[in-house]
Structure 1
Amino acid sequence: MIRAVKSKAFERVFSLYNHYYLLRRRFRSFTLSGSLDPKMMDGNGGGEMLPMAPDQPVVYFMNHSSWWDGLLLYHAAKQTSRGDHYVMMEERQLRQYAFFRKLGAYSINKDSASGVRTSLQYTSELLAAGKRVWIFPQGEILHQEARPIQFRPGIGLVLRRFPQAIAVPVTLCHGMVQHDLPEISMQAGPPVVQDWKALRSEEIAQQLGQVLEQQLDEHRAELIRLGQGSLPDGWPLIRGVRSTSEKYDQARKRVNR
């Protein structure tokens, strides 16, 4: 298993490179609806919704439909969350892109039972330290229209090992509608709080898979209804760049003037 070795100096440089060079050159917009730091019910019984503490252990579970997903969630977390975020990544990919370790990525080897156990133990250690962990429970990159969404039992094993954690569903929709550059819409749903110990890992995986599928279907349906690539309440995570058609229209107006 490959552990994360976060580097603040590397993150400072990479976050700028990721924002201004990688994402802005390839996407017209990237927005977040909802919050990666959702409010939680007051544990003292007052019924009041309070901001989540920075050290609240959280497991984010997200659909995995493109190579960009890790860079997108990294940017969203850096821009909007107070927590310390880590990402579980397939070991073969992490060996290929080892620099992700400096950003908080650690590995899991699904082909090794001992490797899986070691990764789960490391995940529990991160959560116990108040870290936030991102998981792609589908276990591989699949088309965003693939249905049903089926999770592997790993997320259930994680939550059973650390039942104090809350689970937050996050969906990503990629699309090209009005412009020649793709638009990315991310949506963070309401946190899921359960007595994880009372459920088998397969039951947890099935339940959370259904939660994510419903959220993704509703997310997609709203974008289709609006005929655009972002939701109206979306927070802009990158400064919008002009598409080719917009540049052409602006140039034509100048010529006409």
Structure 2
Amino acid sequence: MLRSFEWYVRRYLRTHFDRVLLDRGGSEPSRLFGERPLVVYLNHASWWDPLIGLIIARTQFPQRQHFAPIDAKALEQFRFFSRLGFFGVEQQTRAGAAQFWSISTAVLQSHNAALWITPQAAFADPRVRPVHLAPGLARLASRLDGVTILPMAIEYPFWNERLPVALARFGEPLLSDTMISSDEWQIRLSSALEETQDELAKFAVSRDFTRGTPVIRGRRRVSVFYDAWRRVLGRSANVPLVDERGSE
């Protein structure tokens, strides 16, 4: 079922994005701390985050088994998500916090597990500073040893085409440590994600396709009117026109 859903998501993203790019300047997955359980935490920029996360998870960490929390009510409505690694958590309740802790710690007992979370808890513009995170991840980092914690920034700018691009970047990995307090972890995690978002913002502003590794390329449709209009706009604004390989 996962392969079928992944095929659908890839097709869906190709329809709605010019391309999905992973910033080459970010941390390489191969640099992670050996064979340790992994937590990837990302900013919550839009509705698209889980779908982009799914494709990046499958392409960058194909050997891992992936999990992610989801609103318990949504999981009741779409039960097939549980077969994709999603687990239900009640929102904004003590019971939900307990569910997250219990399931997450069980998941992270496996060295090849990867837990994906959006600790901002609500949609937030990627330029908002400071970055505020819910305390659940910091508590997890302060109570477990030897878990790799990897920040990932994501945003969806419009560049030179009709459709937006999806950009992602991995930050520098951290290693969970019970000798560090939850409050200190909260500061470290927020700072690491904020720094990763700042670096990704530079990529977004550059409009430089060559800075990113293609994860997905959008579909190319032939349109005489669109191509002509695109060239008029490009010349009037002195914007370089690029083809699907990122070259002029």
Is TM-score (shorter-chain normalized) higher than 0.5? yes
- Relative to structure 1, the CA distance from residue 118 to residue 83 in structure 2 (aligned partners, 3 Å threshold; closer, same or farther) is same
Measure, in 1, the Cα distance between the counterparts of 2:169 and 2:78.
27
Matched, 1:171 2:141: no
Please give the secondary structure, in 1, of the residue aligned with 2:30.
coil
- The aligned counterpart of 2:180 is 199
Q: What is the one-letter code of the residue matched to 1:203?
A: E
Structure 1 residue aligned with 2:119, among 137, 141, 154?
A: 137
Larger mean Cα displacement after TM superposition, 168-177 or 135-144: 135-144
- Relative to structure 1, the CA distance from residue 167 to residue 177 in structure 2 (aligned partners, 3 Å threshold; closer, same or farther) is same
- The aligned counterpart of 1:12 is 3
- The aligned counterpart of 1:234 is 212
Please give the secondary structure, in 1, of the residue aligned with 2:178.
helix
Please give the secondary structure, in 2, of the residue aligned with 1:138.
coil
Q: What is the one-letter code of the residue matched to 1:156?
A: A
- The aligned counterpart of 2:144 is 162
Structure 1 residue aligned with 2:202, among 221, 241, 250?
A: 221
Whether the 8 Å CA contact 1:28–1:243 is kept in 2: the answer is: no
Residue deviations 1:23-82 (CA, integer Å, cap 9, x gap) = 1110110012346633246xxxxxxxxxx43xx201111000111100111111112212
Matched, 1:77 2:57: yes
Measure, in 2, the Cα distance between the counterparts of 1:241 and 1:157.
43
Larger mean Cα displacement after TM superposition, 127-136 or 100-109: 100-109
Residue deviations 1:169-198 (CA, integer Å, cap 9, x gap) = 10102111101101011111221125x212
Q: What is the one-letter code of the residue matched to 1:98?
A: R
- The aligned counterpart of 2:170 is 188
- Relative to structure 1, the CA distance from residue 100 to residue 141 in structure 2 (aligned partners, 3 Å threshold; closer, same or farther) is farther
Structure 1 unpaired stretches of 5+? 1-9, 42-51
Whether the 8 Å CA contact 2:16–2:218 is kept in 1: the answer is: no
Whether the 8 Å CA contact 1:60–1:134 is kept in 2: the answer is: yes
Measure, in 1, the Cα distance between the counterparts of 2:17 and 2:84.
22
- The aligned counterpart of 1:5 is none
Q: What is the one-letter code of the residue matched to 2:105?
A: S
Please give the secondary structure, in 2, of the residue aligned with 1:198.
coil
Stretches (4+) displaced over 4 A? 243-247, 250-253
Structure 2 unpaired stretches of 5+? 232-248
- The aligned counterpart of 1:45 is none
Q: What is the one-letter code of the residue matched to 1:32?
A: L
**How many residues matched?**
227
Shift of 1:120: 0.7
Q: What is the one-letter code of the residue matched to 1:12?
A: R
1:86-165 superposed matches below 5 A: 86-130=67-111, 131-165=113-147
Q: What is the one-letter code of the residue matched to 2:164?
A: P
Shift of 1:220: 0.4
Q: Could you state the TM-score of these two structures normalised by the residue count of structure 1?
A: 0.79
Residue deviations 1:64-110 (CA, integer Å, cap 9, x gap) = 01111001111111122121111122333433443322211112224
- Relative to structure 1, the CA distance from residue 141 to residue 100 in structure 2 (aligned partners, 3 Å threshold; closer, same or farther) is farther
Measure, in 2, the Cα distance between the counterparts of 1:91 and 1:245.
44
Shift of 1:247: 7.5
Q: What is the one-letter code of the residue matched to 1:249?
A: D
Q: What is the one-letter code of the residue matched to 1:108?
A: V
Measure, in 2, the Cα distance between the counterparts of 1:61 and 1:252.
37
Whether the 8 Å CA contact 2:21–2:215 is kept in 1: the answer is: yes
- Relative to structure 1, the CA distance from residue 249 to residue 87 in structure 2 (aligned partners, 3 Å threshold; closer, same or farther) is same
Whether the 8 Å CA contact 1:89–1:107 is kept in 2: the answer is: yes
Whether the 8 Å CA contact 1:151–1:206 is kept in 2: the answer is: no
